Structure 1
Amino acid sequence: MRMTMSWRKSLVVVIFGIAAFSGPFGGNMVLPLFRYIGNDFSVGQFYLGLTITLYMMPFSILQLFSGMLSDVFYGRRKTLLFGAAMYSLGALSSYFSPSIAIFLLSRVLQGVGSAFITPISMALVGDVFEAEVRGRVMGFGALLTTLGATLGPLVGGFMGLIYWRYVFLVMLLFGLILFILIYFFLPEQNLTHFNRKEAFRILKYGIFNFLVILIGFMGLTLFFTRLSIYTFLSN
């Protein structure tokens, strides 16, 4: 049975689609630019690697908080606006960065913004669409994510031949489009009727579980690293 979507559902699809596409597209556009960034700032591989690490760290960690903040405290619209503003500010600052320190700080801001855009746009889909339709919308988002990850290095490499900083103007464009759509057209969702004390308790256990998993992975990595060293030395 064909479903006729309301304007609100259409808007959520557009917001979710832009978020799903722009995240991997913008992230992967940076990968072919390492040579140009290194030459511009006169830095080596260590600092170039940090451009990815300092983006992914806040993106990974702050997702623990962004969903709870949108559910209980501030609502979807305010948290999405915050994310789009941080992402846009980070992209603009990256474009004008006079030094590697400012550039790395700008990447942190972009990671913070993404942490408030990606999960909350997915939550919007759950808020608006019925269960039997939700899977198709999420599948559409997965398609755009793959497309963004594929096109990102191609577009980034091409723009690097012209001027590598133009990549961040493309990211800025995505951020501004999201901000405008959310600010002018997206109505606020009702906050979850949830006890805030209970929310903090769940958040505390979420952080604890994250730290346990992180320590476990660190221990596993250390084990295999030591194992490879001892195996090499034994020969």
Structure 2
Amino acid sequence: MKKKATVYIMSTIGLLPLVMVLGNSMLLPILPLMEDELNITHIEVGMLLSIFSLIAAIVIPIVGFLSDRFGRKKLVLLSLFFVMVGNLVTIIGGHGFKEPYTWILIGRIIQGIGAGGTAPLAMALIGDLFEGEQRSKSLGIIEVFNGIGKVVSPFIGAIAALFSWYSVFYFYFFASLMAFVGIYFSIKSINQEKVNEPLLHYLKMLMSVIRKEARTLFPLSLIGAVGLFLLFGMLVFLSFEIERIYALNGLFKGFVFMVPLGVLTYVSYWTGKNIASNSLYMKKLLLLGITLLTGSLLSLIFFHQFHELIFSLTIAASGVGFILPCVNTIITSTVGGKERGFIVSIYGMVRFLGVAFGPIFFSLWMQEVVSMFVKASLLMIITGIWVVISFKLTRVIKTRKVQLTIRKKFN
């Protein structure tokens, strides 16, 4: 594929994770405003984030199966259509209707149905379109778009708050429309191996793949989910903390979110660009990401000042930035074309369950800050140990020590 065509296609596919990320991240700075305007509790406002992600997580494997059978492009376009309809329902609910919270909740559910076919199918599309080093670079670019969405979303939310909190959904509608038009015109043909077998035979084939690759798929899917669970949970905590405790709001609040999310974007891009197909290097960066994320959570048990919170959250975001591109590449390359859509969608479902439950759990936990970070640290330690054992990541450390010993002998 020519470089110019590759850039064009990647720019278009990159809009898909952007659409998914906008669905939640743009609401982060305006959560306290929504709570006041709708006269709801912070648990209910957290539900507006979580219901979107939870519905998307449920829909993802269904969309993955249908994309294997009927084609990725058709399912992506249908998904974007649902996102647009969900935005219209949410906007209607925000314009002074009775029971606006109910309308908005329904709109968020419809948006979630559509979001389930965006980012996960973007990874499957890349698996179909590219191979080898180009695939790992493209998956890294996907995480960059993911990160860009997280970086710009707080500014969108903060600017929207100057007019009305529901103004964010006007932007979300037009972003979805732009993605729809881009996918429709840019992706002409996909070298996709479609599934024609009966459903029962297909499910047996999938179970065979899952059993064969369980040692890879389960721990990697979990570490991706836990990383996003912790990141989104801490971002929700940060949103309430900087407004209620430090009385910071407006555009400055957007700048605060930009620091950790900007680092996440850069680290994701750098990781995707440099890992290529080097499995040993992926393991090293995966171990580094686990270490950074765990260390940042442990530090937050003891340090709670504003600058300490931002610094630790930034380190945590960099850890997630190392983890996700490595996990994406390993999982996407593990399975073949026939099963790729469904397997990648299962991984996407598990990831999104992390995004869904992060705001809920942290909303419940944030009453006791020290206890919250103790629980978060334990979750990360347990998950990290499973990944380290499953992938024998301790050998990466030993290999490094051997290399250093050899260098010392010859220098």
What amino acid is aligned across from residue 199 of structure 1 in structure 2? Y
Q: In 1, distance between residues paired with 2:164 and 2:14?
A: 27
CA 1:6/1:124 → structure 2, altered by over 3 Å: closer, same or farther? farther
Q: Which residue of 1 aligns with 2:2?
A: 4
Q: Which residue of 2 aligns with 1:103?
A: 104
Shift of residue 5 of structure 1? 3.2
CA RMSD in angstroms comes to 2.9
Deviation by residue 1:120-144 (Cα, 9 ceiling, x = unmatched): 1111111111222111111111122
- Which residue of 86, 91, 107 corresponds with 1:90? 86
Equivalent position of 2:170 in the other structure: 169
Tell me, in whole angstroms, the C-alpha distance in 1 between the residues paired with 2:57 and 2:79.
14
**2:74 is the counterpart of 1:78:** yes
**Which residue identity does 2:86 align to in structure 1?**
G
Pair 1:44-2:41 in alignment:
yes
SS at match of 1:165: helix
Q: Is the 8 A contact 1:29 1:155 kept in 2?
A: yes
Q: Assess if the C-alpha contact under 8 Å between 1:32 and 1:157 holds in 2.
A: yes
Aligned partners of 1:70, 1:88: CA distance in 2, in Å? 20
Which structure 2 residues correspond to residues 125-204 of structure 1 after superposition, within 5 A? 125-187=126-188, 189=190, 190=192, 192-196=194-198, 197-201=200-204
What whole-Å deviation, never above 9, does each CA across 1:90-137 have from its counterpart, x for those lacking one? 112111213111100111111111111111111111111122211111
1:134-176 deviations in whole A, cap 9, x for unaligned? 1111111112212221222232122212221110111111111
Matches within 5 A, 1:205-216: none
Query: Residue 154 of structure 1: SS of its match in structure 2?
Result: helix
Question: Which protein has greater RCO, CA pairs closer than 8 Å, 6+ apart?
Answer: 1
SS in 1 for 2:188: coil
CA distance in 1, matches of 2:140, 2:193: 26
Match of 2:62 in 1: 65
Equivalent residues of 1:15, 1:121 under 8 A apart: no
| Alignment partners' CA distance in 1, 2:207 and 2:105 | 29
Give the TM-score of the pair, scaled to structure 2.
0.46
CA distance in 1, matches of 2:28, 2:123: 26
| Aligned amino acid, residue 79 of structure 2 | G
Gaps of 5+ in 1: 215-220, 229-235
**Closer, same or farther in 2 for the Cα pair 1:202/1:110, shift >3 Å?**
farther
Counterpart contact for 2:19–2:118, Cα < 8 Å: no
Secondary structure, counterpart of 2:138 in structure 1 = helix
Task: Work out whether residues 58 and 112 of structure 1, in 8 Å CA contact, stay in contact via their aligned partners in 2.
Answer: yes
Please identify runs of 4+ aligned residues in structure 1 that moved more than 6 A.
203-206
Q: Distance in 2 between matches of 1:199 and 1:12?
A: 30
Q: Is the 8 A contact 1:22 1:171 kept in 2?
A: yes
One-letter amino acid of the structure 2 residue matched with residue 85 of structure 1: F
**Counterpart in the other structure of 1:114:** 115
Larger Rg: 2
Is the Cα–Cα contact under 8 Å of residues 76 and 117 in structure 2 kept in the other structure? yes
1:20 aligns with 2:17: yes
Report the TM-score when normalising by structure 1: 0.77
CA distance in 1, matches of 2:31, 2:4: 44
What SS is found at the alignment partner of 2:165? Answer: coil
In 1, distance between residues paired with 2:14 and 2:181? 15
